[in-house]
A and B are shown apart, each in its own frame.
Chain A
Amino acid sequence: MCSVATKGRQETAAPSTAPAIELRGISKAFGPVQANKDISLSVARGAIHGIVGENGAGKSTLMSILYGFYKADAGEIFIGGKLTPIHGSQDAINAGIGMVHQHFKLVENFTVLENVILGAEDGQMLRPSLAKARKLLAELSDEYELSVDPDAMIENLSVGHQQRVEILKALYRQADILILDEPTGVLTPAEADHLFRILNGLKAQGKTIILITHKLREIMEITDTVSVMRRGEMTATVQTKDTSPENLAELMVGRKVLLEVEKKPATPGACVLEIENLRVVDEKGVERLKGISLAVQAGEILGIAGVSGNGQSELMEVLGGYQTATGTVRLNGRELDLTGRHSDGQSRRNSGIAHVPEDRHREGLILEFSAWENMAFGYHNDPKYNKNALLMDNAALREDTRQKMDRFDVRPPIPRLQAKNFSGGNQQKLVLAREIERNPDLLLVGQPTRGVDIGAIEFIHKRIIQLRDEGKAILLVSVELEEILSLSDRIAVMFDGRIMGERMPEDTDEKELGLLMAGMGTREAN
């Protein structure tokens, strides 16, 4: 049960001074994993409260309890000073809580208006609800810069606009408390700034906002108070103005963390990868890459910045061998087959390309397989892992895995353990160990630190730079601008299937890159 009311503790305080949300002693376990341990939290009305923590720290679990997706094992929830048992999302909505999920819950082929009223229709007939929503949307768009065309189809809206629809949905349901889960993950910096203006406008109207993020910069920029979670516990709640990103990072990890990456200047050598006029048309006939030309030299990291979905994935897939394309790609001067028999992952690996894919759960690993089986994944034809023409050499493979786990500090170092039982950071280390130790001429790295804890990020960045220093070419794709800026020796920005420009990291900043990522050239923007 979520909340067992004890009569003596029933609050009678005046609601005006009561906090918008108060959690007392929330605990939740999933099997042997204690996701939330005795968490207490109080958020004042009209505040923007940030919750930071590494992946798996329990942020999402806590918010899911607040929104009624999970039932807490123990603890109480007070909304506006009143004990409010929340058994399902309908209870949460009735209590004035609105949630904007990381992955939007919108019906793609409905209009904005239809999505807003979906599940909150006033009666059997839609017309009155639609009219009411239209009026409200008009009001809100003036008030909070929340302008969206009410008759547009969701599938035709940009991600930033879709997010506004999610916020409008919550406001239509008269939410006073808005929870946003990693809201800027898919936004350009400009769109994120716009979102923050919206949130500040809502705050001025007395709405309470809870912002879950792992980006410390955003916390510093917009929140009033911030709570840090680590391993299911709330380790600190502080006033944002009294803290610093370094301090928060230390609270999150439990030790001092290097936020800056140390690296020597690059010494680029021969040209390893040359891409000319690369074009990709997907199954629906949409052109995803519109003539890309790039070059990567030995001993340098070329970072590709861009909001996700602008062609970076397709570029990686073409180079990884599982997406057909037109144009020319040369590796060490030899042209790669982009459409025919040799455009598969096996041929690419044989030609000296290793690939750390963007999505390790869907591509890089087989979660049900053990660590040692995953170590052979993509390389199971390697003679090293085979006894003879027929049988694999599982013992050699296990031994090889044990050594790699040791060198990459994978914990726990048990080759038999299934991949799904490792933490995100250790899973990523498994993939990196497999790909880096191939000693490739070209390493493709997609989102190397997505969903990886801060401690592991440090290690992963170090290994990538080490590979560069060994004279390998590295193509890095990341949606984290900070990561691009700190790792890359050269930066190319992608937008809508094109390269918008190349910059040197020391000559540029997040603002300029942000404009390029939004499809605006520097000159026009200024």
Chain B
Amino acid sequence: MDKMPKWADVFLVPFINLLLAFFVSGLVVLAVGENPFQAIWIMIKGSLGSTAGLGYTLYYATNYIFTGLAVAVAFHARLFNIGGEGQAAMGGVGVAVVLLAFNWQHWWLALPFAIIGAGSFGAFWAAIPAYLQAKRGSHIVITTIMFNFIAAAVLGYLLNGALKNPNNQNAETVPFGPGAHLPTAHEILAPLGIQFSKSAPLNISFLLALLCAFLVFVLLWRTRLGFAIRAFGQSETAARYAGINAVKITMITMLISGALAGMLSINVVMGEQGRLIKEFVEGAGFVGIAVALMGRSHPFGIVLAAILFGMLTQGGFELLWEMPDLSKEMVLVIQALIILFTGALDNMVRMPLEKLFLRLRKEQS
């Protein structure tokens, strides 16, 4: 018998976690001498109150869906991939190489190849730690985090060398051609008569992210490969008994995971920047861990959690603007508190709640 009804497990626990996080964050805001309710209002209004705000929120959410899915897929095979940051960065290189190689005539021609570039470079970057884990037993947590640093260095090297724009002093590539420009929300919605902010970076990648979430769901719960991945993650000894090849599953899972992380660059590099710059991932790889945790490694949960974290990111920037007393670090503290409560301290709420439900059930019976 399950300890709690499903709705409590999926919705009530994260909701209480969130309330607690807001409460403690409120104390922080209060300590600085600002009004916590006003702060929350600014964050909500800033992230949802206008199409510009919403556009930014969903733009960030797109990134977090990709990295959250990457973490979740690996997590189902009990592989803790915290190298999303590096895999996304390499994905950016892949996108840039593809988009600079040809003079693309139309975005829908360029997009499939950009996806292949982003996915294969991201997958490649995950494949090395996966191989070291599968064949040599080097712990994947250590290797993936190390590979984040290597990826940053490689990206810096390429942007100052082979891929550098010779026309200026910045560490970036030349802008991609106009044929590689992805339609933004404004451009998509305008023909339908909906006025969406022109400045918001939200683009068609958001739909791509939702499609990926659906495909991950199908992969994990409807295919043989997903069955093998989940079985391997639940029990390595049992998988061995069943004849599931550990090396193969580790490799395939990490390739998928890395490819998903790499897809982030479709949104940022192709969709927003229009060129490859140095620190475009901006920590989204790490936020993906919190998103996967909060989304309970389920694609549906991940989409919801990613939108929440998108709101936090966008709302945080608004907060900086509106409340000058709050420093940038303070906003980080608030975001970190929410990650802490929803991710790391999950059991703090879950366990008492489970006990409560058990008692309720006992009284009923």
Contact = CB atoms under 8 A, between A and B. Distances in A.
Interface of A: 29, 31-32, 320-322, 344-349, 355, 357, 359, 362-369, 373, 376-378, 380-381, 386, 390-392, 394, 421
B234 A380 contact: no
Interface in B344-365: 358, 361-362, 365
18 contacts: A31-B358, A32-B365, A321-B243, A322-B240, A322-B243, A345-B240, A345-B242, A345-B244, A346-B242, A355-B241, A362-B237, A363-B238, A363-B241, A366-B234, A377-B231, A378-B242, A381-B224, A392-B224
A365 B241 CA distance: 10
B222 interface: yes
A364 B241 contact: yes
A280 to B, nearest CB: 15
Interface in B220-237: 222-224, 227-228, 230-231, 234-235, 237
Contacts, number: 74
Contacts of A364: 238, 241
Given A32-B365, A380-B228, A381-B224, A345 B234 contact: no
A322 B241 contact: yes
B1 interface: yes
B243 A378 contact: yes
B245 interface: yes
A386 B224 contact: yes
Interface of B: 1, 3, 218, 222-224, 227-228, 230-231, 234-235, 237-238, 240-245, 358, 361-362, 365
Contacts of A369: 230-231, 234
A391 B223 contact: yes
A363 B234 contact: no
A376 B241 contact: no
A365 B237 CA distance: 10
Nearest to B361: A32
Contacts of B228: 380
A363 B237 contact: yes
Contacts of A346: 242-243
A31 B223 contact: no
Contacts of B244: 345
Contact of A31 (B3, B231, B242): B3
B227 A392 contact: yes
Q: Is the interface of B mostly helix, strand, loop or mixed?
A: helix
B243 A345 contact: yes
Contacts of B223: 390-392
Nearest to A320: B241
A373 B227 contact: yes
A321 B243 CA distance: 7
B253 to A, nearest CB: 16
B1 A391 contact: no
A271 B125 CA distance: 52
Contacts of B237: 359, 362-363
Given A29-B362, A391-B218, A392-B223, 15 more contacts: A32-B358, A322-B240, A345-B240, A345-B241, A349-B243, A363-B240, A363-B241, A364-B238, A368-B234, A369-B230, A373-B227, A376-B227, A378-B241, A378-B243, A380-B227
Nearest to A357: B241
A365 B238 contact: yes
Nearest to A347: B243
A240 B224 CA distance: 55
Nearest to A348: B243
A391 B234 contact: no
Contacts of A29: 362
Nearest to B236: A362
Contacts of B230: 369
A377 B224 contact: no
B1 A32 contact: yes
Nearest to A365: B238
A459 to B, nearest CB: 23
Q: Indicate the member of A31, A348, A365 with the most B CB atoms within 10 Å.
A: A31
Nearest to B231: A366
Contacts of B242: 345-346, 377-378, 380
Residue in A321, A355, A392 whose Cβ sees the most chain B Cβ within 10 Å? A392
A283 to B, nearest CB: 12
A427 to B, nearest CB: 13
